[in-house]
């Protein structure tokens, strides 16, 4: 991508901010996107405006105005035109994918007679226009194709670390409103970059549904796993044992801490939570075990259920201690998926109840594609060299041994 130099009129922007913040943000967004369009044009032509270059592939032929509906209002972009080969841009596709999914979901509710007047008014305000059945169908078909391609894409290369979780959305089904489980798989590839590997809509979280979800990941090529992080849902644990029997489970320390403290009397919860955090932050497993034993001794008489919970789940919450210290904070909890879930919930609030299961996959899948693209440009969690060093150590063998122990406990 060509380097961008975006110049904004400081006095004009400051004046707009003082008078009308909405107009200021529209101006900033409009200027920035127009600069991106110009940079894309220069990259495709292999030449800047008026530049003489032997590498030039085509010449400019003016521009055309195109409106883009955004959350800060309508903006007008000057889309470059090329004389021979049409100009191509990702601006409209990337920016509008999740917006189109949101619009489609809302419009579908209106068309199907499910929504209220309030939802219709929100759609009019957000989009500035109404939608017919044919327009909605066309948008939905395009989105469904994009989402399905992402959802079923082959997973190439190794993914050493996997985190799975589910959240719930309300869906109208057979004249009733029911909750559907939306499962997400979040992984780290061999180069240290995080990706959204898969998602799916299911009736509930059970042994069968989680097994189906993980089997789908394996069939698409998920290999090279060292560890799987999740909460302690029975369906997840059973599915891991069936689909990835040689991969150890890391119990999410955040959920585990909450499980423990919820079983303690309220007056002891704050102190217990602090001591558990100290235990989880230990540098060695031996030190963590010492603190565990101290917590058990201190709370045995006043929080018996909490102590039993800690004792039963401690080892599975410490699988991550086999990893180098620099990696532990990334894989000791499922908080990264929790953040994704919050964003999905935020985006879905405007809809409330989805008209059908397909609309959940379409909208939430579109949002996940957007987040996935952002992740791939983010900072790597580890380098290929550090992963190679880890794989050449005794850690993989120890992790497989832990997986065997966990399998035996499930059978018992």
396 touches 223 (CB < 8 A): no
* Radius of gyration, alpha carbons of the chain: 26
H or E element, residue 171: strand 161-173
The predicted pLDDT at position 364 comes to 87
144 touches 160 (CB < 8 A): no
The predicted pLDDT at position 389 comes to 94
Total Cβ atoms within 10 A of residue 2: 13
Domain ranges of the chain: 10-89, 94-151, 161-411
H or E element, residue 187: strand 176-188
**pLDDT over 80 (residue 199):** yes
Among residues 259, 202, 231, the alpha carbon closest in space to that of 338 is found at: 231
User: Which of 11-15, 68-72, 83-87 has the largest mean confidence?
Assistant: 83-87
Tens of pLDDT, residue by residue over 309-344, are 999 999 999 999 999 999 999 999 999 898 889 888
Give how far the C-alpha of residue 254 lies from the chain's centroid of Cα atoms, to the nearest Å: 18
The predicted pLDDT at position 45 comes to 85
On average, the pLDDT of the chain sits at 83
CA dist list (Å): 3 to 53, 83, 248, 365, 378:
18, 24, 44, 31, 18
Strand 60-70 relative to strand 227-230, pairing: unpaired
H or E element, residue 260: helix 253-262
The predicted pLDDT at position 72 comes to 60
Q: Would you report the helix, strand and coil content of the chain in percent, each value rounded to 5?
A: 55, 15, 25
Tens of pLDDT, residue by residue over 89-118, are 766 655 555 555 655 555 454 334 333 344
Tens of pLDDT, residue by residue over 373-382, are 888 888 899 9
- How far is residue 189's CA from residue 195's CA, in Å, rounded to a whole number? 7
Mention every residue, 6+ apart, whose C-beta is less than 8 A from residue 150: 365, 368, 369, 372
Confidence at 59, pLDDT banded by 50, 70, 90: confident
Q: Residue 52 has which token pair?
A: 């003489």
**pLDDT over 60 (residue 239):** yes
Q: What's the average model confidence in pLDDT over 61-65?
A: 85
Among residues 70, 66, 72, 71, the alpha carbon closest in space to that of 37 is found at: 66
Note the pTM of the prediction, 2 decimals: 0.71
The predicted pLDDT at position 316 comes to 96
**pLDDT over 90 (residue 256):** yes
């Amino acid at each position: 991508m060509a380097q961008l130099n975006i110049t904004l009129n400081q006095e004009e922007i400051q004046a707009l901010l003082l008078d009308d913040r909405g107009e200021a943000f529209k101006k900033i967004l409009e200027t920035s996107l127009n600069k991106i369009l110009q940079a894309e044009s220069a990259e495709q032509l292999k030449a800047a405006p008026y530049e003489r270059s032997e590498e030039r592939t085509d010449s400019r032929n003016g521009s055309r105005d195109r409106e883009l509906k955004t959350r800060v209002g309508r903006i007008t972009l000057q889309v470059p035109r090329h004389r021979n080969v049409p100009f191509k841009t990702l601006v409209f596709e990337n920016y509008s994918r999740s917006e189109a999914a949101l619009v489609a979901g809302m419009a579908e509710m209106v068309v199907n007679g499910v929504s209220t007047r309030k939802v219709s008014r929100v759609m009019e305000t957000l989009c500035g226009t109404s939608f017919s059945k044919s327009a909605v169908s066309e948008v939905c078909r395009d989105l469904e194709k994009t989402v399905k391609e992402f959802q079923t894409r082959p997973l190439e290369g190794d993914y050493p670390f996997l985190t799975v979780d589910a959240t719930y959305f309300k869906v109208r089904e057979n004249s009733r409103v029911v909750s559907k489980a939306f499962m997400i798989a979040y992984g780290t590839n061999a180069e240290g970059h995080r990706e959204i590997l898969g998602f799916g809509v299911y009736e509930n979280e059970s042994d069968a549904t989680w097994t189906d979800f993980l089997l789908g990941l394996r069939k698409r090529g998920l290999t090279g796993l060292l560890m799987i992080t999740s909460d302690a849902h029975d369906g997840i644990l059973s599915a891991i044992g069936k689909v990835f029997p040689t991969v150890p489970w890391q119990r999410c320390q955040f959920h585990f801490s909450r499980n423990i403290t919820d079983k303690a009397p309220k007056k002891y919860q704050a102190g217990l939570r602090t001591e558990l955090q100290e235990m989880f932050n230990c540098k060695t497993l031996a030190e963590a075990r010492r603190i565990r034993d101290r917590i058990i001794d201190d709370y045995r008489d006043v929080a018996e259920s909490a102590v039993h919970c800690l004792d039963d789940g401690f080892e599975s919450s410490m699988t991550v201690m086999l990893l180098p210290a620099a990696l532990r904070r990334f894989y000791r909890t499922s908080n990264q998926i929790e953040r994704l879930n919050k964003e999905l919930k935020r985006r879905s609030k405007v809809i409330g109840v989805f008209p059908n299961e397909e609309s959940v996959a379409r909208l939430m899948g579109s949002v996940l594609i957007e987040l996935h693209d952002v992740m791939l440009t983010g900072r790597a969690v580890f380098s290929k060299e550090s992963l190679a060093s880890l794989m050449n150590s005794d850690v993989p063998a120890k992790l497989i041994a832990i997986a065997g122990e966990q399998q035996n406990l499930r059978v018992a």
